[in-house]
A and B are shown apart, each in its own frame.
Chain A
Amino acid sequence: MHAPSSDLPILFAGVDIRRGTTVLLRNLSFMLSAGPPTVLVGPNGAGKSTLLRAAMGLLAPTSGGITWGGRNVPSPTGRAIVFQRPVMLRRSCAGNLAYALAAAGVVGADRESRLADLLRIVGLEAVGDRPARQLSGGEQQRLAMARALARNPTVLFLDEPTASLDPAATKAIEDIVRAVSDRGVKVVMATHDLAEARRLAGEILLLHLGELIESSPAQKFFADPVTEAAKRFIAGELLV
Chain B
Amino acid sequence: MGGETLSALHLLFTGDPALFAIVRLSVAVSMSATILAALLGAPLGALVALTRFRGREVAIVALNAMMGLPPVMVGLVCYLALSRSGPLGAWGLLFTPRAMVIAQTILVTPIIAAITRQTVEDLWAEYRDELTAMNVGPMRRVATLLWDGRFSLTTAFLAGYGRAAAEVGSIIIVGGNIEGFTRTITTAMALETSKGNLALAIGLGVVLLLIVVSVSALAWGVRRAGERFAG
Contacts and interface: CB of A to CB of B under 8 A. Distances in A.
B140 interface: yes
Interface in B121-162: 126-127, 129-130, 132-136, 140, 144, 147-148, 151
Given A103-B140, A131-B231, A132-B231, A89 B148 contact: yes
A104 B136 CA distance: 9
A81 B133 contact: yes
A104 B134 CA distance: 7
B10 to A, nearest CB: 47
A205 B84 CA distance: 77
A92 B228 CA distance: 11
A159 to B, nearest CB: 10
Nearest to A132: B231
Nearest to B132: A58
B231 A88 contact: yes
Contact of A90 (B129, B130, B133, B230): B230
A87 interface: yes
B230 A80 contact: no
Interface string A87-119: 111111000000110011000000000000000
B154 to A, nearest CB: 13
A89 B231 CA distance: 9
B143 to A, nearest CB: 11
Contacts of A87: 126-127, 129-130
Contacts of B151: 90
B229 interface: yes
Contacts of B144: 89, 99
A92 B136 contact: no
Contacts, number: 49
Q: Place the interface of chain B in its size category.
A: 10 to 19
Contacts of A89: 127, 130, 144, 148
A219 interface: no
Nearest to A157: B133
Given A87-B127, A90-B148, A56 B133 contact: yes
A89 B134 CA distance: 12
Given A76-B135, A89-B144, A90-B148, A83 B130 contact: yes
A62 interface: no
A11 B147 CA distance: 39
A23 B218 CA distance: 53
B137 to A, nearest CB: 9
Interface string B163-206: 00000000000000000000000000000000000000000000
Q: Which of B132, B136, B231 has its CB near the most chain A CB atoms (within 10 A)?
A: B231
Interface of A: 56, 58, 76-77, 80-81, 83, 86-92, 99-100, 103-104, 130-134, 147, 151
7 contacts: A58-B132, A83-B129, A89-B144, A92-B230, A132-B231, A133-B231, A134-B231
Interface of B: 126-127, 129-130, 132-136, 140, 144, 147-148, 151, 228-231
The 10 closest A-B pairs by CB, nearest first: A131-B231, A133-B231, A90-B148, A103-B134, A87-B130, A81-B133, A103-B136, A76-B135, A90-B231, A134-B231
Given A87-B129, A100-B134, A131-B228, 4 more contacts: A83-B133, A87-B130, A92-B230, A104-B135
